[in-house]
């Protein structure tokens, strides 16, 4: 009987500790979620400005109608003097460490103008080198990226990071996805106004 009481006492104590910790975590989440969302939005705006030169960016809502190859989580028209100068496509290809968040800039000639890495879970010192400018600059000017090779020989290949072929290939897939989506978007830019009129 004493053993049963001891077990019940321990169970109640554990339950109370769990309840208090859960309440504290929920409170911390409530206090920080707006700030986290705000910081995330600022980081995205900074990334947009880094990948293509433009006066401003307009959400391309019609991307929701595009048939996805890799997860596309957003798109923007890049505008200067009210003219579309390109677009930015946010993609989440799966790398060695899971999904990575990337933004590609694409100009009206359907060439990549830049790539920004918003987040990733790649291995430090290997796949994490995807954030290095030297690696990212390989994508500038590309109109197609068919893959990543240890020794890039073709115009549509990029030099894979040493020891991080999976990460390199994930970015190459993301680039192709962004290029295909950008081509589709720039063929139907007026759709945005039509969608607004329907709302």
Q: Which helix (H) or strand (E) holds 145?
A: none
- Average pLDDT for the chain: 82
Task: Name the one residue in this structure whose structure tokens are 């930015």.
Answer: 88
**Is the pLDDT confidence value at 191 over 60?**
no
pLDDT at 46 over 80: yes
Type and span of the H or E element at 113: strand 112-119
Give residue 38's pLDDT band: very low, low, confident or very high (50, 70, 90): low
Give Dmax over CA atoms of the chain in angstroms. 82
Q: What are the tens digits of pLDDT across the range 156-183? A: 778 888 888 889 999 999 999 999 999 9
pLDDT for residue 99 is more than 50: yes
Residue 149 phi/psi, 5-degree rounding, is: -125, 155
For residue 5, pLDDT beyond 60: yes
Q: In the chain, what are the domain boundaries?
A: 54-198
Q: What's the pLDDT score for residue 196?
A: 45
Q: Residue 158's pLDDT is what? A: 80
């Amino acid at each position: 009987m004493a053993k049963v009481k001891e077990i019940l006492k321990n169970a109640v104590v554990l339950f109370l500790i769990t309840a208090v910790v859960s309440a504290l975590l929920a409170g911390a989440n409530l206090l920080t979620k707006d700030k986290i969302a705000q910081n995330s939005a600022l980081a995205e705006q900074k990334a947009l400005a880094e990948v293509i030169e433009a006066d401003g960016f307009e959400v391309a809502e019609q991307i929701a109608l595009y048939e996805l190859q890799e997860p596309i989580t957003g798109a923007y028209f890049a505008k200067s003097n009210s003219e579309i100068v390109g677009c930015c496509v946010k993609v989440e290809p799966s790398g060695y460490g899971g999904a990575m968040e990337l933004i590609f800039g694409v100009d009206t000639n359907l060439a990549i103008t830049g790539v920004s890495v918003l987040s990733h879970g790649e291995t430090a010192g290997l796949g994490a080198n995807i954030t290095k400018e030297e690696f990212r600059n390989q994508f500038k000017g590309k109109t197609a990226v068919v893959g990543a090779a240890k020794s890039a020989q073709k115009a549509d290949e990029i030099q894979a990071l040493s020891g991080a072929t999976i990460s390199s290939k994930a970015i190459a897939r993301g680039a192709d996805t962004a290029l295909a989506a950008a081509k589709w978007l720039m063929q139907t830019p007026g759709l945005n106004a039509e969608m607004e009129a329907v709302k």
